[in-house]
């Protein structure tokens, strides 16, 4: 994402908790800051991309002394809606605008500049940010601050649920005597077709659980789905079941790819397994 901003001609100051990751951008003429406050000091727009809401809060707390009135902060991390709203409220008291703009599309989307970007913002702040966001992907304004996180949770609920049901379909095919690879090929092009069936269905058949997206990230997002549902006063029974699936392997396979939903399902069905290839695990 930072590389694409540099390639588009934007002046960029980079800071990372692991300095070597920021220094890699120095070859593209980014300036590497020593701390978050220095990184944001002369910025018109500040972009954060971090692991989770508490980390965003910690980093922004250190950065705040460097922020100027009129700066626009865009947090592209995946956090809870309440965390995004709290940061928005804090920054508003400083005269700093805020957008929560989580993304979907993974490393491939980041490299290609095709990320789906879900923005929660005031209309005028989104208009200001849109040219920058378009360098990284396809931004859509989905509501006021905090709503970007709701949209991302909807995305993750669909992803997590689809992963779980594809795992069930492949295991059922195997257990019923069919060739699961042939079943996947047969249903592609019909209503069951999806990018998840294409990419992660193949991963499951190959038993390749080396990480792209990780179990721990999917589990975090699904827990946040349930928190958001409770806050909104809705009951999501499928979300609860899918969350439990990921909880069941979180302690033992936190860094495995999210397609390890298949491994969670196989643990529930002793003696049943898709294919005979060895598992590829981190």
pLDDT at 28 over 90: no
Query: Pick from 223, 179, 186: which is nearest to 52 by CA?
Result: 223
- The beta-strand segments (E) located in the chain are 13-14, 31-32, 45-48, 72-75, 97-100, 103-104, 115-120, 137-143
Q: Confirm whether 1-144 and 150-268 share one CATH topology.
A: no
| pLDDT for res 24 | 87
* Strand-pair category, 115-120 with 103-104: antiparallel
Q: Express each pLDDT in 218-248 by its tens digit.
A: 998 899 999 999 999 999 999 999 999 999 9
DSSP state of 120: E
Segments making up each domain of the chain, as ranges: 1-144, 150-268
Asked if residue 20 has pLDDT above 90, the reply is no
Residue 64 pLDDT exceeds 90: yes
User: Which CATH number is 150-268's, of 1.10.443.10, 3.90.226.10, 1.10.1040.10, 3.40.50.150?
Assistant: 1.10.1040.10
Catalytic residue, candidates 152, 220, 272, 280: 152
Residues 168-180 have a mean pLDDT of 97
d(CA 232, CA 49): 26
- pLDDT band per the 50, 70, 90 thresholds, residue 8: very high
| Active-site residue flag, 216 | no
Residue 71 DSSP SS3:
coil
The mean pLDDT value for 179-189 works out to 96
Which whole-number Å values give the CA distances from 94 to 19, 54, 69, 266, in the listed order?
28, 20, 6, 52
> What is the domain class of 1-144 according to CATH?
alpha beta
| pLDDT of 225 | 93
């Amino acid at each position: 994402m930072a590389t694409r901003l540099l390639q588009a001609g934007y002046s960029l100051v980079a800071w990372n908790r692991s300095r070597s990751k920021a220094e890699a951008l120095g070859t593209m003429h980014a300036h590497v800051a020593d701390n978050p406050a220095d990184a944001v000091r002369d910025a018109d727009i500040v972009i954060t991309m971090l692991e989770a809401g508490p980390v965003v809060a910690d980093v922004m707390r250190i950065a705040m002394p460097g922020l100027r009135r009129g700066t626009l902060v865009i947090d592209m991390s995946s956090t809870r809606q309440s965390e995004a709203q709290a940061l928005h409220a804090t920054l508003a008291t400083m005269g700093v605008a805020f957008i929560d703009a989580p993304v979907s599309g993974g490393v491939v989307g980041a490299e290609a500049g095709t990320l789906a970007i879900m923005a929660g913002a005031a209309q005028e702040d989104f208009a200001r940010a849109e040219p920058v966001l378009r360098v990284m992907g396809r931004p859509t304004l989905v509501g006021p601050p905090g709503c970007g996180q709701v949209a991302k949770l909807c995305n993750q609920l669909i992803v997590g649920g689809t992963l779980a049901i594809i795992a069930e379909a492949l295991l059922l095919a195997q257990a019923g005597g069919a060739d699961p690879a042939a079943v996947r090929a047969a249903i592609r092009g019909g209503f069951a077709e999806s990018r998840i069936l294409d990419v992660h269905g193949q991963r499951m058949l190959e038993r390749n659980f080396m990480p792209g997206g990780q179990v721990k990230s999917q589990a975090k997002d699904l827990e946040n789905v349930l928190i958001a549902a409770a806050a909104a006063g809705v009951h999501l029974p499928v979300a609860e079941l899918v969350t439990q699936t990921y909880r069941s392997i979180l302690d033992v396979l936190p860094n495995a790819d999210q397609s390890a939903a298949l491994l969670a399902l196989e643990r529930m069905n002793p003696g049943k397994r898709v294919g005979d290839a060895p598992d590829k695990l981190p």
